[in-house]
Structure 1
Amino acid sequence: MNDFTRQTQEFFSAAKDARIPEQVQAIAEDGVTKARETYDKLSTVTKDNAKVLEEATAAAFAGAKSISDKVLKNTEQNTEAAFEAAKALARAKTLPELIRLQSGFVQQQLTVAGAQSKELFDLSTKVAQQTFESFNSAAAKTFEQLKKAS
């Protein structure tokens, strides 16, 4: 048996009878308990915040869908108006009538486009504000929960 092997066996022989002081055991147990409590708090905060983020994201997607629906509705209305104007232009009997119909259509579409732009701007502003508020609220809630968990 070499010297290293003998020393190793002596170390393990002495170590098997060694006792860990009760104070060290208590500190270790307390550390594990506190780590578990912190983990549980942070886990709860994380799960809650994931839910809040999901709700805020769903609200943002709903807002984007309402904007998309509005754009599609406007496009349909404008296309329908263009077809109606084309039909009327095709039935025009004289050049002055054709010019009058074309001018009327352009004037009407400019008015409609202005109204549609305002509606779309108002809707976009509302959606952006709601989305910002949702994410801001989620962030505030996260920070508040993290403060409590600390």
Structure 2
Amino acid sequence: MNDFARQTQEFFSAAKEARIPDQVQAIAEDSVTKARETYGKFNTAAMDGVKVLEEVMVTAHAGAKSIGDKVLKNAEATTEAVFDAAQAIARAKTLPEVVRLQTAFVQQQFTVAGAQSKELFELSTKVAQQTFESLNAAATKTFEQIKKAS
């Protein structure tokens, strides 16, 4: 048997008899327990953070859907107005009547477009505010949980 093999065998024989001091074992067990508790706190905070992020995303999605629905509704109203105006103009008997109908339509559309823009701006502002409030609440909650876990 070579020298290295003999030394290795002696080491393992000695290691079989070696005892870990009670204090070292207690420190190790305490460290594992504390690490597990800390992990549990951070894991809970992370899971709660994911839930809160989902809520923020749901809020943002609902807001985007509201804005999309509003834009679609406005487009439908504008399209109907265009068809109504085109039909009225097609029925006109004189050129001055055509000009009057066209002018009235354009003026009406400017008024409607202004009102639609204002509504869309107000809705966008509301959605942005709700989303940012939700995001702020989520961040605050997450940071508080992390602080407690530390």
TM-score range, shorter chain: over 0.9
- 1:64 aligns with 64
The alignment's TM-score, normalised by the length of structure 2, stands at 0.99
Deviation at 1:13, TM superposition (A): 1.1
- Distance in structure 2 (CA, Å) of the matches to 1:89 and 1:64: 37
Give the number of aligned pairs.
Answer: 150
Question: In the aligned structure 1, how far is the partner of 2:18 from the partner of 2:53?
Answer: 53
Q: Normalized against structure 1, the TM-score is what?
A: 0.99
Name the residue aligned to 1:138: 138
How far 1:15 sits from its partner (Å)?
Answer: 1.2
Paired position in structure 2 for 1:126? 126
- Residues 1:33 and 2:36 aligned together: no
SS at match of 2:93: coil
In structure 2, the gaps of 5 or more residues are: none
Tell me by how many angstroms 1:43 deviates. Answer: 0.9
Residues 1:13 and 2:16 aligned together: no
Q: Deviation string for 1:126-147 (max 9, x for gaps)? A: 0001001111110111101000
Q: What's the CA shift for 1:14? A: 1.2
Cα distance, 1:49 vs. partner?
A: 1.1
What whole-Å deviation, never above 9, does each CA across 1:97-122 have from its counterpart, x for those lacking one? 11000000000000000000000000
Query: Structure 1, unaligned stretches of length 5 or more?
Result: none
SS in 2 for 1:9: helix
* Structure 2 letter corresponding to 1:76: E
Deviation of 1:56 (Å): 1.0
Q: Work out the CA distance in 1 between the residues paired with 2:140 and 2:22.
A: 44
* Corresponding position of 1:112: 112
RMSD (CA atoms): 0.5
**Once the two structures are superposed, what CA deviation does each residue of 1:59-99 show, in whole Å capped at 9, x if it has no partner?**
10000000000000000000000000000000111111110
Deviations 1:13-72 (A, max 9, x none): 111111110010000000000000001111111111111110111010000000000000
Return structure 1 stretches of 4+ with deviation > 3 angstroms.
none
Query: Which letter does structure 2 place at the counterpart of 1:68?
Result: G
